[in-house]
Amino acid sequence: RLTAHSRAHRLTAQFCMWDQYKLLSELGPGQLANLARLNAALVVRDALQLGSLKVVDFGSPLSAKSLFFWRLFMQHLLAACSTTTQ
């Protein structure tokens, strides 16, 4: 809710996510799954813009944990979008 009303909170959330993207290789599977769900929920609710993913270099090889995280994120994002359009 804070990010819906304040640009400063939206930028803070974006910077926090950027920091988390850098630490993906250090997180456990449960933490990765929770972070993927949180990111997808924030994007679906328009609390975080898709432009926040611009710092991720999808062109370079991803580690196994990063690939797991981004796959889960996309699955949750697409699942949430498909349920909201029906």
- pLDDT bin (cut points 50, 70, 90) of residue 4 is low
Reading the block at residue 50, the tokens are 């898709």
Nearest to 58 by CA among 40, 75, 72, 70: 70
Q: What is the pLDDT of residue 68?
A: 95
Would the pTM of this model clear 0.85, i.e. be above it? no
Question: What's the CA gap between 21 and 83, in Å, rounded?
Answer: 26
Average pLDDT over the chain, rounded to whole? Answer: 87
